[in-house]
Amino acid sequence: MRIFKFKICLFGEPAVGKTSLIRRFVYDTFDEKYLSTIGTKVSKKTVSLEINGEEIRVDMMIWDIMGQESFRQLLKDAYFYGAEGLIGVADITRKNTLYALDEWLKEIFKITGEKPIIFIGNKYDLKENAEWGEDEIKQLTEKYRAIKYLFTSAKTGEGVEDTFLTLARKLVEKKI
């Protein structure tokens, strides 16, 4: 069995659900309380994929970052250095969080170059309060030639595993 290890960075504005998405994927839990991420936190999850009939183990090192712009400017080089995959997270109930992903990527790509990316419209359990939808995220996906976009809910788990597994599969396929 081949083993791959990838650094994956989530990015986006404060309170879009980056930490909750990671917690849902890694531990299958959700907490209603909002705790702002201070600095960075790294979580690890190992997944198995079958690609071309071969069993592949993928160790995903998932980096969580605080969303404040001051931090984005201060520590972005260290945080994003070596990232092989990116997940851009926006809150569907706040339109500004989607447009902020554009600014994040301009800075990130200066450090990483273009990397495989997936865009997330999170908090899909609140879709009745959505300020934006498929048309807007599709435009961003096309602009950055992202792998895909998904709507997720860290609360219900909808789309979360699909997001991380899709990115892991794409990263492995680039290597083999």
For residue 75, the model assigns a pLDDT of: 58
Mean pLDDT estimate for the chain: 91
The DSSP output letter for 144 is T
Q: What is the pLDDT of residues 20-70, one digit of tens each?
A: 999 999 999 888 775 555 557 789 999 999 999 999 999 999 998 765 666
Instruction: Indicate whether 161 pLDDT > 70.
Output: yes
Q: How confident is the model at residue 171 (pLDDT cuts 50, 70, 90)?
A: very high
CATH topology (fold) of 2-175: Rossmann fold (3.40.50)
Distance of CA 117 to the CA centre of its chain: 8
Rounded (to 5) percent helix, strand, coil in the chain: 40, 30, 30
Name the band, by pLDDT with cuts 50, 70 and 90, for residue 107. confident
Tell me, what amino acid is at 73?
Q
What are the distances in angstroms from CA 88 to CA 18, 108, 120? Answer: 9, 11, 6
Write down the domain spans for the chain.
2-175
d(CA 116, CA 136): 19
pLDDT at site 42: 87
- 38 sits in the region (left: phi over 0; alpha: psi -120 to 50; else beta) called beta
Helix extents (H) in 2-124: 18-27, 69-80, 95-112
Q: How much is the pTM?
A: 0.92
Per residue in 122-143, pLDDT (tens digit) is 999 999 999 999 999 999 999 9
